[in-house]
Structure 1
C-alpha cells in the first residue's frame, strides 16, 4: 500500500492496462480510497465484467486484478475535483460507477442531515420498545461551523465552541472533533485544551467521546428485505491527536467477551438495520459503526452507505465456512441488490438457528493494516522470505510496487490472517511478529 503523496502526479489522466479478452464486456468502475478488495470480490463473483479501478494508492495487486486502473490525481483532493475525475474515467470507459469505502465526494448528501436522521431513528425505535429495552443510543453531538455549535437535531440557539468545551470540562465530558466529509478516522481528533483548531475549522461535529470497544455491523439491503451479514471488531491506531485511525477489522464476532452470544443484541440490531435502510432508501452493502461501553450500551456513531473495508473479513469467513459459494461474492450481491434483485435469500448464517458453538462459525479473519514506524523502502520479496523463515502463514495484500519509499506513519501493506478459535493466543503472537517483520524490513 502506498500513499497519494508517494505516487506523484502529472495532472494527466494516467491509465494502466491489464490486457484481457473481450473489451465489449460491461465495464464497472470501482472508485474509492482503495479498491483492491472490491475488485477482487467483483472479479470472483462477476468474472465476465470489465473491472476498472480508480483509487489513491495504485497497489500492485489492485492493478493486477483490474482490467484497467487509474490513480486519482494528486493535489486535487476536493470533493468537486474527485467527482470530476470519477466522471471523466467513467466516460472514458463507458463504465457504471460503484463507489466503495473511504471516499467522500460531492453529491453524497448533507452529512449533518444524515446524522440528524440517524439520531431520530434510534430515538423512535427506543420510544416504541417495551420498558426502554432498546440498547442503542447516540452520543451527545453538536453540529459546528466557524466556531459556533448547535445541539444536533434541535432548534436551540448557537453557542461558542470554546464556551461549550469550557462549560462541560468540569463535568468530566471529553470531546472529539469530527471533520465533515472525512473517512477512515483521519478527520477525528481529540479536542485539545486550546480550541483554536476548532475555531478555525470549517464544518464538523463536537461529539462526546465514549469509552469502549469499536464494532462495525455489515448489512445488505434489497427491495424486499435487509439482512445483517456480520459484526466485526474495529481496529484503530493513534497518530498524534488522531486516536481512531482505521487499521483493520476482526470478525465475525459471535460473542462479546466471555458472556456468550446472548450479549449481542441481534434482534435490536436487525430492527435498526431495517429502519436505517428504509429511511435512507439503501440498496446493497452498508455499514453501521458503534462503540459498546462498559454498561453494555451500544452507541451508534456513523452510517457508511457503501461497501466498507470490513466486508472483506466477512466474505472470507463466509467462503471458508461454506455459507458462500466459491463463485459468489459480496460485491456481486451488492450489484444485484442495487439492480432490484434479492441476493439476501442466499445468506442465512445470521439466523436464529445458526449454531455459534460450532468450530466453523467460531473461526475469524483479521485484516490488519501495518503502518511505518520510520521512513524506508518496501521490499515485499524480503518480507515474504522472513515470514516463511519463521513459519508464519499469512497473506499479504495492498502491496506497493517494489522499491516504493514509505514515509513515517504511512501504510506499508495489509496482513490477512485466519484465526482458529482453539489457537487464538498462538495466532495473536504470530500476528504481532508479522507486524514487527513488516515494519523492520523497510530499507533505508
Structure 2
C-alpha cells in the first residue's frame, strides 16, 4: 500500500487526521491551513482550486491523492489532476452524474426508491413548496425555501414579474434547479462503495441545519450527531440506495447521501456527496472504524475488512457530535490553540471516548474571519442525543464568549 497520501479540498483537517491514524504519511492542501491541520500534515494553503492545485500535485511526493468537500463541483479539474497522480476517489464522469439531480433521481426512481420531484426550469414547477438550489451548492449555502402558487405559474409564461422571479433576482444568483420540499428530519448516510460493486452502510447521522446558536441560518449545514439509530426498514432502504448508486455510476470508496426521514419512516434522498463527508468523522469516532483505511482499500487492491451491507454495530450507547461555530461579525482570531483550557474549563467532564480534542479547525492567530464563515468546530459526546446537543451548545457559547474577550473586530 502506498504510504504517502495527499488530501485536498476546502477543509482537509478531518480526512488528514483519519489518514494519519491509518498510518499514512499525509500531505494536505486546503483553503484555511488551520493549526491542527498543520500538526497532522505537511500543508499548503491555497486560494483558488484551478490555479493552485495543479502545482500542488506536481510538487507532491504522495503516491495518491483524494479530495474532500468543494472539489466535487469541479469535475473537469478532477480529471485533469487525476492524469498527473493516481486518484483515490470518484472521477469526473461519475461526478457529473452524481451531482446532476435529474440523473441520480431517475436512476433511484427506476429502482423503486422515492425521490423528490426536480425541476430545472420555472415552467416545470407545480404549486407547492420547493427548495431552490444552485447546482454547485455546498453546505447548504444559497439554498432557499419557495412557496409556489397557482397564480404565479399562470403568469410565468407571459414573462411578467412575479414574486417567484423577484425572489430569484434578490437572491443574487441564478438558481439551477428546484427540488420538491419533503417534510421530515435532515439526515446523512455514509457508505463505502466496494470493489465488488456493492456498498457498505457505515452509519447514519442527524444533521444540524441553520441553528441560530451556531451563527447559521436557512439551510446552512452546521454539524452532525450520531450514530442515529434507524429501523431495519430504513436501513434496508439506505442499503438499496447505496448499492444502486454504486452499481449505476461505478462509484468507489467513501460517499454520502443526504436524505430526509419522513414521518412514515421513508428515506428521501436529496443530495449525493461523492467524497469524504463532513459527518464522516462523527461516525468514525463513534464506531471506531478506520474510514480512510477502508477508502484506500477499495483502490489499492487490499481486502476491505468489512464486506457486509452494514458496518453499524447493533448496540451503541454513546452519541458523538460536531458543531461548526460561525462568525456573527467580522473578526480577527486570537491564539485559540494555546487558550483551549481557558475556553473550555469543563472539557474533562465530557471527554471523548478516544481522548481527542474537543476543539478543531482552529484558525491561525491573526486570521481574518468574515461574518458567516466558520470560526472553529466543537465536539462533544454523551449517553443520549439531548445531552449531546446541550453540551455542543454550551461549548459553542463558551467559544463565542472567549472570542468576544480575545478577538478584535476585523
Common fold: TM-score over 0.5: yes
Establish whether residue 408 from structure 1 lines up as the match of residue 371 from structure 2: yes
Pick from 326, 333, 336 the counterpart of residue 371 of structure 1.
326
Contact 1:188–1:242 under 8 Å retained in 2: no
Establish whether residue 178 from structure 1 lines up as the match of residue 143 from structure 2: no
Contact 2:129–2:180 under 8 Å retained in 1: yes
Quick one: structure 1 residues 355 and 296, their matched pair in 2 at CA, closer, same or farther if it must change by over 3 Å?
Answer: closer
Partner of 2:9: 32
Q: Structure 1: how far apart are the matches of 2:369 and 2:144?
A: 24
Q: Give the structure-2-normalised TM-score.
A: 0.78
Quick one: structure 1 residues 378 and 226, their matched pair in 2 at CA, closer, same or farther if it must change by over 3 Å?
Answer: same
Establish whether residue 118 from structure 1 lines up as the match of residue 87 from structure 2: no
How far off its partner does 1:142 sit? 0.9
Partner of 1:334: 295
Contact 2:98–2:272 under 8 Å retained in 1: no
Pick from 322, 329, 345 the counterpart of residue 388 of structure 1.
345
Pick from 30, 37, 46 the counterpart of residue 62 of structure 1.
37
- Where do 1:202-351 residues align within 5 Å? 202=174, 204-224=176-196, 225-237=198-210, 243-255=218-230, 261-262=231-232, 264-319=233-288, 324=289, 329-345=290-306, 350=311
How far off its partner does 1:419 sit? 1.7
Contact 2:332–2:366 under 8 Å retained in 1: yes
**SS of match in other structure, 1:373:** coil
Q: Structure 1: how far apart are the matches of 2:265 and 2:3?
A: 47
Quick one: structure 1 residues 90 and 441, their matched pair in 2 at CA, closer, same or farther if it must change by over 3 Å?
Answer: same
Q: Structure 2: how far apart are the matches of 1:195 and 1:344?
A: 52
- Where do 1:153-172 residues align within 5 Å? 161=122, 168=126, 171=127
Unpaired runs of at least 5, structure 2: 77-91, 148-162, 352-357
Establish whether residue 101 from structure 1 lines up as the match of residue 66 from structure 2: no
Contact 1:252–1:317 under 8 Å retained in 2: yes
Establish whether residue 91 from structure 1 lines up as the match of residue 52 from structure 2: no
**SS of match in other structure, 1:57:** coil
Partner of 1:12: none
Contact 2:216–2:222 under 8 Å retained in 1: no
**SS of match in other structure, 1:435:** helix
Partner of 1:433: 394
Quick one: structure 1 residues 94 and 197, their matched pair in 2 at CA, closer, same or farther if it must change by over 3 Å?
Answer: farther
Quick one: structure 1 residues 282 and 348, their matched pair in 2 at CA, closer, same or farther if it must change by over 3 Å?
Answer: closer
Contact 1:190–1:241 under 8 Å retained in 2: no
Contact 1:111–1:180 under 8 Å retained in 2: no
Contact 2:322–2:392 under 8 Å retained in 1: no
Partner of 1:16: none
Unpaired runs of at least 5, structure 1: 1-24, 77-81, 127-135, 144-148, 150-160, 256-260
**SS of match in other structure, 2:259:** strand
Partner of 1:195: 165
**SS of match in other structure, 1:88:** helix
Quick one: structure 1 residues 390 and 201, their matched pair in 2 at CA, closer, same or farther if it must change by over 3 Å?
Answer: closer
Q: Structure 2: how far apart are the matches of 1:220 and 1:241?
A: 30
Partner of 2:380: 417
